[in-house]
Amino acid sequence: MSSQQYQQQRRKFAAAFLALIFILAAVDTAEAGKKEKPEKKVKKSDCGEWQWSVCVPTSGDCGLGTREGTRTGAECKQTMKTQRCKIPCNWKKQFGAECKYQFQAWGECDLNTALKTRTGSLKRALHNADCQKTVTISKPCGKLTKPKPQGKKLSF
Protein backbone atom coordinates (compact mmCIF):
# COMPACT_ATOMS: atom_id res chain seq x y z
CA MET A 1 0.00 0.00 0.00
CA SER A 2 1.36 3.33 -0.99
CA SER A 3 1.69 6.28 1.29
CA GLN A 4 -1.04 8.08 -0.59
CA GLN A 5 -3.47 5.17 -0.21
CA TYR A 6 -2.60 4.96 3.48
CA GLN A 7 -3.42 8.65 3.99
CA GLN A 8 -6.71 8.24 2.13
CA GLN A 9 -7.69 5.23 4.29
CA ARG A 10 -6.77 7.16 7.40
CA ARG A 11 -9.00 10.12 6.39
CA LYS A 12 -11.93 7.78 5.70
CA PHE A 13 -11.44 6.12 9.08
CA ALA A 14 -11.26 9.51 10.84
CA ALA A 15 -14.41 10.71 9.03
CA ALA A 16 -16.28 7.50 9.93
CA PHE A 17 -15.11 7.77 13.53
CA LEU A 18 -16.24 11.41 13.79
CA ALA A 19 -19.60 10.54 12.20
CA LEU A 20 -20.06 7.74 14.75
CA ILE A 21 -19.22 10.09 17.64
CA PHE A 22 -21.68 12.67 16.28
CA ILE A 23 -24.48 10.07 15.93
CA LEU A 24 -23.89 8.74 19.46
CA ALA A 25 -23.96 12.27 20.87
CA ALA A 26 -27.22 13.02 19.04
CA VAL A 27 -28.86 9.78 20.27
CA ASP A 28 -27.69 10.40 23.83
CA THR A 29 -29.09 13.94 23.75
CA ALA A 30 -32.42 12.70 22.38
CA GLU A 31 -32.66 9.99 25.06
CA ALA A 32 -31.82 12.48 27.79
CA GLY A 33 -34.55 14.75 26.50
CA LYS A 34 -37.08 11.92 26.77
CA LYS A 35 -36.09 11.02 30.32
CA GLU A 36 -36.22 14.56 31.64
CA LYS A 37 -39.83 15.51 31.38
CA PRO A 38 -40.47 19.16 31.99
CA GLU A 39 -42.11 19.89 35.32
CA LYS A 40 -45.83 20.47 35.10
CA LYS A 41 -46.65 24.05 35.76
CA VAL A 42 -48.52 24.37 39.00
CA LYS A 43 -51.39 26.67 38.24
CA LYS A 44 -52.63 28.64 41.17
CA SER A 45 -56.38 28.53 41.28
CA ASP A 46 -58.26 31.77 41.50
CA CYS A 47 -61.35 29.83 42.57
CA GLY A 48 -62.90 30.91 45.84
CA GLU A 49 -64.00 28.61 48.65
CA TRP A 50 -67.27 26.73 48.25
CA GLN A 51 -70.25 28.44 49.88
CA TRP A 52 -73.05 26.00 50.76
CA SER A 53 -76.79 26.55 51.11
CA VAL A 54 -78.78 24.89 53.86
CA CYS A 55 -79.83 21.27 53.39
CA VAL A 56 -83.31 20.94 51.88
CA PRO A 57 -85.05 17.57 52.32
CA THR A 58 -86.04 15.74 49.15
CA SER A 59 -89.44 14.94 50.62
CA GLY A 60 -91.06 15.56 53.97
CA ASP A 61 -89.40 17.43 56.81
CA CYS A 62 -86.27 15.40 57.36
CA GLY A 63 -84.07 12.69 55.94
CA LEU A 64 -82.05 12.82 52.74
CA GLY A 65 -81.85 16.07 50.84
CA THR A 66 -79.58 18.27 48.79
CA ARG A 67 -77.72 21.51 49.16
CA GLU A 68 -76.17 23.75 46.55
CA GLY A 69 -72.62 25.02 46.53
CA THR A 70 -71.27 28.01 44.65
CA ARG A 71 -67.87 29.60 44.27
CA THR A 72 -66.41 32.43 42.27
CA GLY A 73 -63.41 32.69 40.02
CA ALA A 74 -62.92 33.73 36.42
CA GLU A 75 -61.10 30.53 35.42
CA CYS A 76 -63.00 28.04 37.60
CA LYS A 77 -64.22 25.07 35.60
CA GLN A 78 -67.03 24.44 38.08
CA THR A 79 -68.79 27.28 39.91
CA MET A 80 -71.91 25.39 41.03
CA LYS A 81 -72.54 21.89 42.30
CA THR A 82 -75.15 19.97 44.25
CA GLN A 83 -74.32 17.75 47.18
CA ARG A 84 -76.35 15.18 49.10
CA CYS A 85 -77.03 15.91 52.75
CA LYS A 86 -79.21 14.68 55.59
CA ILE A 87 -81.50 16.44 58.05
CA PRO A 88 -81.96 14.52 61.28
CA CYS A 89 -85.52 13.44 62.01
CA ASN A 90 -85.23 13.99 65.76
CA TRP A 91 -86.60 17.55 65.62
CA LYS A 92 -89.97 16.14 66.72
CA LYS A 93 -88.46 15.28 70.10
CA GLN A 94 -88.80 18.88 71.22
CA PHE A 95 -92.60 18.41 71.23
CA GLY A 96 -92.53 14.93 72.73
CA ALA A 97 -92.96 11.64 70.89
CA GLU A 98 -96.36 11.10 72.51
CA CYS A 99 -97.76 14.35 71.09
CA LYS A 100 -99.33 14.06 67.63
CA TYR A 101 -100.09 17.23 65.67
CA GLN A 102 -102.06 18.11 62.57
CA PHE A 103 -99.93 20.56 60.58
CA GLN A 104 -100.95 23.26 58.12
CA ALA A 105 -99.19 23.73 54.80
CA TRP A 106 -95.77 25.34 54.84
CA GLY A 107 -95.79 29.13 54.68
CA GLU A 108 -93.84 31.29 52.26
CA CYS A 109 -90.09 31.53 52.57
CA ASP A 110 -88.82 34.34 54.78
CA LEU A 111 -86.03 35.84 52.67
CA ASN A 112 -84.32 37.28 55.76
CA THR A 113 -83.95 33.94 57.54
CA ALA A 114 -84.20 31.55 54.53
CA LEU A 115 -86.72 29.54 56.58
CA LYS A 116 -90.36 28.68 56.13
CA THR A 117 -92.67 27.78 58.98
CA ARG A 118 -95.93 26.00 59.68
CA THR A 119 -98.17 25.57 62.67
CA GLY A 120 -99.53 22.36 64.09
CA SER A 121 -102.57 21.83 66.31
CA LEU A 122 -102.64 19.05 68.87
CA LYS A 123 -104.43 16.06 67.39
CA ARG A 124 -103.78 13.46 70.09
CA ALA A 125 -101.83 13.10 73.34
CA LEU A 126 -100.75 9.53 73.97
CA HIS A 127 -100.40 8.13 77.49
CA ASN A 128 -101.87 11.31 79.01
CA ALA A 129 -98.78 13.25 77.91
CA ASP A 130 -98.49 16.94 78.71
CA CYS A 131 -98.51 18.48 75.18
CA GLN A 132 -98.64 22.04 73.87
CA LYS A 133 -101.94 22.92 72.15
CA THR A 134 -100.15 24.44 69.15
CA VAL A 135 -96.57 24.28 67.93
CA THR A 136 -94.66 26.12 65.22
CA ILE A 137 -91.78 24.53 63.32
CA SER A 138 -89.34 25.89 60.75
CA LYS A 139 -87.21 24.38 58.03
CA PRO A 140 -84.86 25.69 55.36
CA CYS A 141 -86.44 26.98 52.18
CA GLY A 142 -85.96 25.11 48.95
CA LYS A 143 -83.99 26.46 46.02
CA LEU A 144 -84.66 30.14 45.66
CA THR A 145 -84.94 31.28 42.08
CA LYS A 146 -84.46 34.91 41.30
CA PRO A 147 -86.84 36.26 38.69
CA LYS A 148 -85.13 37.02 35.42
CA PRO A 149 -85.14 40.72 34.62
CA GLN A 150 -87.52 41.57 31.84
CA GLY A 151 -85.69 43.67 29.30
CA LYS A 152 -87.54 46.33 27.40
CA LYS A 153 -88.36 45.27 23.89
CA LEU A 154 -87.23 47.77 21.34
CA SER A 155 -89.45 48.31 18.37
CA PHE A 156 -88.04 49.67 15.16
Report yes or no on 3 lying in a domain: yes
| Same domain flag for 75 and 94 | no
Q: What is the pLDDT of residue 144?
A: 54
Greater pLDDT, 32 or 82:
82
User: Mean pLDDT over all residues of the chain?
Assistant: 76
Handedness of CA 116, 122, 125, 128 (dihedral sign): positive
Domain that holds residue 51: 46-87
> What gap in Å lies between CA 111 and CA 113, rounded to an integer?
6
- 154 belongs to a structural domain: no
Contact residues for 104 (Cβ-Cβ < 8 A; gap 6+): 118, 119, 120
SS3 120: strand
Share of the chain above pLDDT 70, in %: 72
Least confident of 21-30, 33-42, 66-75, 114-123: 33-42
* Predicted pLDDT at 2: 77
User: Is 38 inside a domain boundary?
Assistant: no
Long-range contact set of residues 63-66: C-beta below 8 Å, sequence gap at least 24: 63/87, 63/89
pTM (global) more than 0.75:
no
Number of domains in the chain: 3
Residue 148 lies in a domain: no
